[in-house]
């Protein structure tokens, strides 16, 4: 869990990077930006708001050979070791970002490198380096007061309500490539920010495994349960799967299968599907891991629990009380109409 509300920006450097493939230049500021009481809180909100609203999917720096060959990792490490050198490191970070702008679609923009203190990560105070980029500009009107009238002047600037790209690198787990959060609002070239510039991969932690395993279950329900049974059982399988994750602190695969597989014939199908598909989700050898509640909550919101019928009727099943669907919803076949039907039992209609 992160808490960014008490974050203090100790140092901020602002540079401008162009598109190298279009022969645009780079402008490196000679000194750090002088913070003031009026603009600082606005910039802090501009930088950090996207991370407060985002699911915590962490990354870490990765290099095929060794982290000592990872350019950004080394620059960040030097900045953490010597905070007084952060402005000089920021110039090198901006140059590294500029060097990655080799695709014509990549937009020029301002890059902000901030040394931040007093962030809370997993209930501990830590420092961090933030790298943020603004790309898209918006038109706005500025008014000048003349002697007898107002003159409207069209200008262009950055919308402080939307950060285009950003990364927060926390000063923890250095040997493993740090813990990193990233946002990218403009996905015109997804490889540019995450792969080319940051050089990161998803951090294989409890949040990662919880999210990946639930996505694996969702695809199993769609690819195996639905064809073998019906839409109701597909929805109910995911219902049981999510509830199993929600009520347990630790995932154990055998216990999961015994509880969630309502049809025992699907257990070998589940094992086979995992053997075939696990590399796609990076869960090949995963059978036990701590469960991340935040990932379960996020997955529950994304999973559809609605049966859409071709008669323009929807049946919404309750994920909180799955036994209701088992007890009070029956599926059948009407010979006279030659149609399937759902029979729903209830005592009285609830007032909305």
* pLDDT for the residue 231: 82
Shared domain for 25 and 144, answered yes or no, is: yes
Low-confidence winner among 4-13, 215-224, 235-244, 307-316 (lowest mean pLDDT): 307-316
pLDDT, tens digit, 9 for 90 and up, residues 268-321? 999 999 999 888 888 988 899 999 988 898 888 877 777 888 888 888 876 566
How many domains would you assign to the chain?
Answer: 2
Q: Two tokens at 157?
A: 């600037």
Q: Are residues 15 and 122 in the same domain?
A: yes
Q: Nearest-CA neighbor of 114 among 46, 195, 187, 214?
A: 46
Q: Note whether 214 and 186 are within 8 A (CB).
A: no
In Å, what is the CA distance from 153 to each residue of 58, 87, 142, 149? 43, 35, 5, 13
> Mean of the pLDDT values across residues 86-101?
96
Give whichever of 35-44, 125-134, 318-327 has the largest mean pLDDT.
Answer: 125-134
Evaluate if residue 133 carries a pLDDT over 90: yes
**Among candidates 115, 113, 81, 83, which has minimal Cα distance to 11?**
115
pLDDT on residue 318: 67
Q: Tell me which of 203, 231, 255 is where a domain ends.
A: 203
| Mean pLDDT rounded to a whole number for the chain | 89
Do 77 and 154 fall within a single domain? Answer: yes
When mean pLDDT is compared across 60-74, 160-174, 177-191, the lowest value belongs to 177-191
Q: At a CB cut-off of 8 Å and minimum separation 6, what does 170 contact?
A: 119, 121, 126, 127, 128, 178, 179, 180, 181
Longest dimension (CA), the chain: 86
Q: What is the pLDDT of residues 14-33, one digit of tens each?
A: 999 999 888 899 999 999 99
pLDDT over 80 (residue 125)? yes
| 129 and 211, same domain (yes or no) | no
pLDDT at residue 147, rounded to an integer: 80
Tell me which residue range forms the domain holding 15.
Answer: 2-203
User: Residue 255 has what pLDDT?
Assistant: 94
With tokens 């943020």, the residue in question is: 132
DSSP code for 85:
G
**Residue 322 has what pLDDT?**
60
pLDDT in tens, 29-46: 999 999 888 899 999 999
Our measurement of the distance from residue 39's CA atom to the centroid of its chain's CA atoms, rounded to an integer in Å, reads: 28
**Predicted confidence (pLDDT) per residue in 192-211, tens digit:** 999 999 999 988 889 999 99
What would the mean pLDDT of 318-344 be, rounded to a whole number?
79
Cα 38 from chain centre: 31
Nearest to 113 by CA among 85, 137, 89: 89
Question: What is the average pLDDT across 141-170?
Answer: 89
For residue 173, the model assigns a pLDDT of 93
In a domain, 158, yes or no: yes
Average pLDDT over residues 151-162: 88
Q: Are residues 98 and 123 in the same domain?
A: yes
Tell whether 351 is covered by a domain.
no
Whether the CB-CB separation of 130 and 47 falls below 8 Å is answered with yes
Q: Could you tell me if residue 349 is inside a domain?
A: no
């Amino acid at each position: 869990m992160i808490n960014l509300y008490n974050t203090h920006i100790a140092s901020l450097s602002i540079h401008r990077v162009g598109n190298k493939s279009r022969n645009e230049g780079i402008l490196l500021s000679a000194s750090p930006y002088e913070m003031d009481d009026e603009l600082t809180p606005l910039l802090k909100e501009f930088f950090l708001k996207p991370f407060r609203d985002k699911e915590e999917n962490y990354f870490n720096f990765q290099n095929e050979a060794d982290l000592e060959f990872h350019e950004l990792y080394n620059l960040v490490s030097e900045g953490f070791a010597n905070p007084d050198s952060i402005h000089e490191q920021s110039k090198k970070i901006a140059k590294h970002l500029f060097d990655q702008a080799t695709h014509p679609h990549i937009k020029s923009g301002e890059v902000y490198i901030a040394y931040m203190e007093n962030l809370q990560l997993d209930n501990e105070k830590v420092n961090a380096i933030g790298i943020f980029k603004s790309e898209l500009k918006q038109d706005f009107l500025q008014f000048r007061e003349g002697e007898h009238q107002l003159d409207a002047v069209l200008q262009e600037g950055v919308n402080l309500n939307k950060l285009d790209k950003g990364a927060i690198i926390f000063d923890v787990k250095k040997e493993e490539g740090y813990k990193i959060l990233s946002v990218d609002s403009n996905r015109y070239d997804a490889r540019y920010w995450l792969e080319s510039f940051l050089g990161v991969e998803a951090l294989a932690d409890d949040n990662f495994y919880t999210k990946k395993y639930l996505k694996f279950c969702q695809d199993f329900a769609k690819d195996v349960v639905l064809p073998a049974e019906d839409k109701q059982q597909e929805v109910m399988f995911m219902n049981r799967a999510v509830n199993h994750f929600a009520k347990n602190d630790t995932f154990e695969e055998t216990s999961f299968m015994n509880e969630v597989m309502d049809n025992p014939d699907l257990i070998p199908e589940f094992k086979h599907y995992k053997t075939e598909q696990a590399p796609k989700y990076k869960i090949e050898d995963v059978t036990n891991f701590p469960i991340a509640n935040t990932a379960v909550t996020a997955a529950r919101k994304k999973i559809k629990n609605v049966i859409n019928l071709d008669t323009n009727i929807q049946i919404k099943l309750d994920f909180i009380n799955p036994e209701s669907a088992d007890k009070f919803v029956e599926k059948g076949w009407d010979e006279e109409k030659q149609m399937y039907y759902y029979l729903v039992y209830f005592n009285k209609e609830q007032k909305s």
